């Protein structure tokens, strides 16, 4: 078992939600039923928020005190970068907080969601291959 399996499981859960959400990103479908896409977005908000809290509370503090200077440096860089992503995600959550907001501008919602999902997917991949792999090797 790898030290990062728990975090990787969260990433798998996030990927699962993204795979449910992406096919829903159709303006006509959203116009007809904004509540259904809103429910999936809420799942994503919840899972991502929990994941960030766990990383901030356990993963990054452990990395900050690790003997491996490369691991400390990369983890610090990821943590700093996460602040920017979290701010973008928080803005997205405010802008698209429920079916009424989504239903008012389905095209805007689709564009914003594709952008935030692209950022999230890229982050997850980088985190797994650059940070988590390093953590597992240093363990």
Per-residue pLDDT of the chain (139 residues; tens, 9 = 90+): 899 999 999 999 999 999 999 999 999 999 999 999 999 999 999 999 999 899 989 999 999 999 999 999 999 999 998 888 889 999 999 999 999 999 999 999 999 999 999 999 999 999 999 999 999 998 7
The pTM of the full predicted model, rounded to 2 decimals, is: 0.90
Q: Give the per-residue pLDDT at 126.
A: 95
What's the chain look like in SS3? CCCCHHHHHHHHHHHHHHHHHHHHCCHHHHHHCHHHHHHHHHHHHHHHHHHHHHHHHHHHHHHHCCCCHHHHHHHHHHHHHHHHHHHHHHHHHHHCCCHHHHHHCHHHHHHHHHHHHHHHHHHHHHHHHHHHHHHHHHC
- What range does the domain containing 106 cover? 5-138
Q: Give the per-residue pLDDT at 50.
A: 93
Number of structural domains, the chain? Answer: 1
């Amino acid at each position: 078992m790898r030290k990062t399996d728990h975090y990787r499981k969260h990433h798998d859960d996030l990927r699962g939600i993204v795979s449910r959400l992406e096919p829903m990103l159709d303006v006509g479908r959203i116009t007809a039923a904004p509540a259904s896409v809103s429910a999936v977005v809420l799942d994503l908000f919840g899972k991502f928020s929990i994941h960030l809290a766990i990383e901030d509370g356990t993963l990054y503090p452990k990395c900050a005190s690790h003997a491996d200077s490369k691991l400390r440096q990369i983890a610090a860089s990821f943590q700093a970068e996460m602040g920017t992503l979290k701010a973008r995600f928080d803005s997205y959550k405010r802008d698209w907080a429920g079916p009424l907001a989504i239903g008012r501008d389905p095209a805007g919602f689709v564009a914003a969601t594709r952008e935030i999902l692209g950022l999230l997917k890229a982050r997850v991949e980088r985190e797994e291959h650059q940070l988590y792999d390093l953590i597992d090797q240093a363990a």
